[in-house]
Structure 1
Amino acid sequence: MNANELTIADARDALAKGELSAVDLTMACLTAIDAGTPLNAFVHATPEIALDQARAADARRGAGAGSLNGIPLGIKDLFCTRGVASQAASNILRGFKPEYESTVTSKLFEAGAVMLGKLNMDEFAMGSSNETSCYGDAVNPWKVDDRRLTPGGSSGGSAAAVAAGLCLAATGTDTGGSIRQPAAFTGIVGIKPTYGRVSRWGIVAFASSLDQAGPMTKSVRDAAILLGAMAGHDPKDSTSADIPVPDFEAALTGDIRGKKIGIPREYRMEGMPAEIEALWARGREMLADAGAEIVDISLPHTKYALPAYYVIAPAEASSNLARYDGVRYGHRARLGQGDGIVDMYEKTRAEGFGKEVQRRVMIGTYVLSAGFYDAYYNRARKVRALIKRDFDEAFAAGVDAILTPATPSSAFGLGEMADADPVAMYLNDVFTVTVNLAGLPGISVPVGLDAKGLPLGLQLIGRPWDEAGLLNHAHVLERAAGFVEKPRKWW
């Protein structure tokens, strides 16, 4: 096995024993990134920064070294990184190099992590297939025929890079499923923490009441290690919770005897593929065999989640994206004689924003406008409160975690849905958006392959702030499923 294919946990042990240096590990990843160009996962490689950080990690080894000392990571292009292009995969931020570091990347560097570069994503995190990026499509390393498959979105570059072994792990963000759906499509683990567990400061905003950063890793143990480094209170983020961060790795006892796992009847969607249904049934059996009690539950407002999400998220996006006006940073359109400031705004945004971002900004502006605010936005907020209440009632009745499918299908081909009805693409988020609307933690775990040989994942949803318990349930599911398949190297 090449060093770049190691898990964080295994690399940490090899580094501690002196079997491997951080520079060796980083070089193995940089070589893999060079070879992985066809995947289009890394869009701004930072080899000089990576090797400097790796040398510093080797010098620090031993007492006082952080939990990620010498571990090479990929950073989603949504995170601001000082002096390194941070474009949110949008032409409107072309040339933007922040003068500051996001809280998450600062914490990762404090823990000793090495930054290999910035990863591809959907523009402003708006998309489920990584086809809205100004860098072009990211490509799934899994291949079963002559098609290029989507790695999912919006954290598609992160998912492709981790699945292909270009980095040991990556950061992602999740507004409606953007960590969990690509994790499921690429056979890796992705966790969206409770809203407020990880600071949003220095992460380019999409929908501020839904966005949450989290780890994308090769195993549940790695997710626990990386989340421990990312999480924590940040006074710079007013929505960051001042709650202690437990030792997530220590919580992986593998014992879930007597725990109650809820199975929501509303997630049995009409037309659900038989393979997804069978996988879900297998997941229930695996958790029951581990000693958990499986109970049927009802989340009656689930059917309203997708429409409510696609009112609230675009509304917040239209507000957040108003700052991109060509005045202070990023792209500015060339103006003709006699053009005024309104012309500059209009031309800059028309050139800088892609079609999907324009679509969502227009929807959001519409639902917030006078005369429609109560009919759409306020109603969606009320529905959101009812969705949260459904989960609260399930947890109050003693449910410890909820098991659902992660996605309605395995990865589809690039170009197969992009030009179709956008609503068909939005349906990819059907199992994941409820978790964001309720602010809960959710994790996708790879459990098997479909008939074509593509990975499928199951989702576990946890109680608020109980990432430790959620990770332990996921650890049990991962162990029982024994998913070890990797994509066959074609790139």
Structure 2
Amino acid sequence: MTKASTDVQLPLDRLLDRRAFLARTAALAATATATVGTVALPGLAGLASAAPSDTSAPAVTFNPELDRGAAYNKPRESAMSDPTEWTISEAAWMIRHNKIVPVELVQAYLDRIVAYESTYQAFNVVLAEAAVKAARQWANRPHRGPLHGIPLAIKDNYFTEGVPTTANSYLFQDFVPPYDATSVAKLVVQGGIVLGKTQMGPLATTRATLPNGQVTTVNAWTPTNPSTNPGGSSTGTATAVAGRLASSGIGTQTGGSITSPSNAQNLTGIRPTMGRVSLAGIVPLTYTRDHPGPLARDAKDAAIMLMAMAGPDPADPRSQGLPPVPNLINAATPRYDGDNLRMRWKTRIGVLPGYADGSSETAAARRAFLAEMAAIPECELVEVPFPDEWSLLTGSAFNNVRLPERSEPFMPYLRSDLRGFGVSVTSWLQGALLGANGWVTGQRAKLLLLDRILDQIFSSCDVVVQTSPVPFDIVGLPEIAFPIGFSGGGVPIGAILGGQPYAEDRLLSVAAAYQAVTDWHWRRPADPPAAAPSPAEAAAARSAAATSSRGRLTAEEVAELTQ
């Protein structure tokens, strides 16, 4: 790991008024119905050529802050022979020092896609020809920073110019956007190469399946066992990155779809604060809870990705008027005093009651994680209580108010053909039928929950452990997920930390310190046991899966869509 000197800049959570975020959240909730029209949806089903009313591409520029020395790390000796083993930081070092050209890196990933994609089923579409062309172009352009020539996997609800964006839905199966989503455009202008669009839950509601509920993408750690949950709706991106089919990727989270697949597949994922990354050009699920973010191999890579994606966007009012994005790459660089690791900033980690209790493998991994953190100088573990009425405020009674926000922009589709929503149609109808009183009460409950989190948890800690991503999803606070061990069956175990408003730098610093003293994040799954089947064999396997007990979502999983 790179040894970095002390960064004198304070973390952002030491410079901000937490109550200001509460006021901003209240304003967003109050105006949600008035502003949701700013979310551009593709044209109605059957109008494949229809485009959003605003067809202008987002205005993005190169961010020179990305191109810092801390973003580059020479590859580990053990990984030097395999480009697909490198992190972004390592691949960027090789490209910057002319040890490899972008087209070689792209081709290495395409070779793995040819060999293993039929097993993983991570992609909706692979853009092999376009990716090779882009790699050759970047080889002849001035260096653009650590993303220069890096192959990326893009979740299929992000608009991509001239490439189908289906959100894995019957509704948009023929939609081809006229421009890139702001996040995609920012990654591309920094030198990122779109390798393909990844499979996802239909309209981002479940693990990756076909719209009819047939399971597709598998967990890269158990590729022959589709019953192992690969995470939430950003499954395809997670499997592509974990299975070394892409250097890194992006997903979206409304109820755990970045943190959950990151934990399930040994990745480091960040779900940033609401508004930190623009939602413009992303097929929406819930207006006040959708969060775009990266799924990466370690904290440094996650910082590189998020720093490229973050910032204000005129096309998304939620992203405007926020504090400037700090240097996240520095935050994700471990700090040393000589040869001794220290926390970048003195940090109190809040531990909620029962977090590491019990005899399960997960509890044991959590205890080991806390012990590792406690041993790092300037890191302190503190017990924090659950806020008052925690179970009530985070339960389904109020959590279901997200459903009307989901249904509102889709009302024309709900009125025209319910079959377009596939297996998740019940939850969309539930949202359309929830009364105004229930919605208003739920918004008030959300603000009360946020108020209590800020006052009753963060009054005594800087970050807090999470057992579920949902509470922080509700209130728009940032989270980071990273690996902390494995089960006896070889399935990854992860941790989730929640932070204060705009405290992505603090969260990254904690993950980076932990990853400096552990090696979980360096571990990769074994390749699938068999070579790629022929197209006919792959089709037969999918057909068999469709009729198996695990080929479709269970009744319980479908029921979860409305919880």
Superposition TM-score, scaled by structure 2 size: 0.74
Of residues 386, 392, 398, the one that matches 2:454 is 392
Separation in structure 2 between the aligned mates of residue 28 and residue 244 of structure 1, nearest angstrom: 37
Show the counterpart of 1:295: 382
Counterpart check, 1:472 vs 2:540: no
Show the counterpart of 1:18: 98
Show the counterpart of 2:178: 99
Of residues 179, 187, 199, the one that matches 1:108 is 187
- The secondary structure found in structure 1 opposite 2:106 is helix
- The secondary structure found in structure 1 opposite 2:508 is helix
Of residues 137, 146, 158, the one that matches 1:79 is 158
Write the letter of the residue equivalent to 1:381.
Q
* Aligned partners of 1:172 and 1:216 also within 8 Å: yes
* Aligned partners of 2:385 and 2:457 also within 8 Å: no
Write the letter of the residue equivalent to 2:404.
A
Cα gap change, 1:321 to 1:144, in 2 (>3 Å): closer
Matching of residues 30-41 of structure 1 within 5 Å: 30-35=110-115, 36-41=117-122
Show the counterpart of 1:441: 478
Q: What are the Cα deviations for residues 197-248 of structure 1, in whole angstroms up to 9, with x where unaligned?
A: 0000000000010001000001111000110101010011011133311111
* Aligned partners of 1:85 and 1:98 also within 8 Å: yes
Pairwise CA distance, 1:311: 0.9
Show the counterpart of 1:338: none
Q: What are the Cα deviations for residues 370-420 of structure 1, in whole angstroms up to 9, with x where unaligned?
A: xxx32x322322221122112211465241111234xxxxxxxxxxxxxxx
Cα gap change, 1:191 to 1:385, in 2 (>3 Å): same
Of residues 429, 445, 462, the one that matches 1:362 is 429
Between 383-392 and 7-16, the greater mean CA deviation after superposition: 383-392
Separation in structure 2 between the aligned mates of residue 308 and residue 267 of structure 1, nearest angstrom: 24
Of residues 205, 208, 226, the one that matches 1:130 is 208
Matching of residues 184-263 of structure 1 within 5 Å: 184-242=263-321, 243-251=323-331, 252-254=333-335, 255-256=342-343, 258-263=346-351
* Aligned partners of 1:152 and 1:181 also within 8 Å: yes
Q: What are the Cα deviations for residues 256-284 of structure 1, in whole angstroms up to 9, with x where unaligned?
A: 26311111227579xx7722222222222
Pairwise CA distance, 1:133: 4.4
Write the letter of the residue equivalent to 1:212.
H
* Aligned partners of 1:445 and 1:459 also within 8 Å: yes
Counterpart check, 1:349 vs 2:430: no
Write the letter of the residue equivalent to 1:366.
L
Show the counterpart of 2:494: 457
Separation in structure 2 between the aligned mates of residue 276 and residue 136 of structure 1, nearest angstrom: 26
Write the letter of the residue equivalent to 1:130.
A
Unaligned runs of 5+ in 1: 326-341, 406-430
Show the counterpart of 2:67: none
Q: What are the Cα deviations for residues 420-460 of structure 1, in whole angstroms up to 9, with x where unaligned?
A: xxxxxxxxxxx111111121110111010012111000011
Show the counterpart of 2:466: 404
* Aligned partners of 2:356 and 2:367 also within 8 Å: no
Separation in structure 1 between the aligned mates of residue 238 and residue 397 of structure 2, nearest angstrom: 27
Runs of 4+ in 1 over 3 A off after TM superposition: 131-136, 144-148, 266-269
Q: How many percent identity over aligned positions?
A: 31
Write the letter of the residue equivalent to 1:159.
A
Separation in structure 1 between the aligned mates of residue 433 and residue 350 of structure 2, nearest angstrom: 38
Write the letter of the residue equivalent to 2:411.
A
Write the letter of the residue equivalent to 2:123.
F
Matching of residues 301-380 of structure 1 within 5 Å: 301-304=389-392, 305-308=394-397, 310-324=399-413, 345=416, 348-350=417-419, 352-356=420-424, 358-367=425-434, 369=435, 373-374=436-437, 376-380=438-442
Separation in structure 2 between the aligned mates of residue 361 and residue 28 of structure 1, nearest angstrom: 41
Q: What are the Cα deviations for residues 81-118 of structure 1, in whole angstroms up to 9, with x where unaligned?
A: 11101000001111110112110011011101000010
Write the letter of the residue equivalent to 2:353.
R
Separation in structure 2 between the aligned mates of residue 248 and residue 395 of structure 1, nearest angstrom: 24
- The secondary structure found in structure 2 opposite 1:92 is coil
Write the letter of the residue equivalent to 1:315.
P
Counterpart check, 1:488 vs 2:556: no
Superposition TM-score, scaled by structure 1 size: 0.84
Pairwise CA distance, 1:179: 0.2
Please provide the CA RMSD for this pair: 2.0
- The secondary structure found in structure 1 opposite 2:328 is coil
Show the counterpart of 1:283: 369
Pairwise CA distance, 1:349: 2.7
Write the letter of the residue equivalent to 1:443.
I
Q: How many residues align?
A: 434
Separation in structure 2 between the aligned mates of residue 353 and residue 282 of structure 1, nearest angstrom: 43
Cα gap change, 1:263 to 1:213, in 2 (>3 Å): same
Write the letter of the residue equivalent to 2:371.
E
Unaligned runs of 5+ in 2: 1-80, 336-341, 531-563
Separation in structure 2 between the aligned mates of residue 449 and residue 320 of structure 1, nearest angstrom: 41
Separation in structure 2 between the aligned mates of residue 31 and residue 147 of structure 1, nearest angstrom: 23
Cα gap change, 1:308 to 1:81, in 2 (>3 Å): farther
Counterpart check, 1:56 vs 2:137: yes
* Aligned partners of 1:207 and 1:316 also within 8 Å: yes
Of residues 169, 179, 183, the one that matches 1:90 is 169
Q: What are the Cα deviations for residues 153-172 of structure 1, in whole angstroms up to 9, with x where unaligned?
A: 11000110000000000001
Show the counterpart of 1:27: 107
Between 27-36 and 182-191, the greater mean CA deviation after superposition: 27-36
* Aligned partners of 1:158 and 1:171 also within 8 Å: yes
Pairwise CA distance, 1:480: 2.9
Counterpart check, 1:70 vs 2:70: no
Pairwise CA distance, 1:319: 0.8
Show the counterpart of 2:72: none
- The secondary structure found in structure 1 opposite 2:466 is strand
Write the letter of the residue equivalent to 1:432.
P
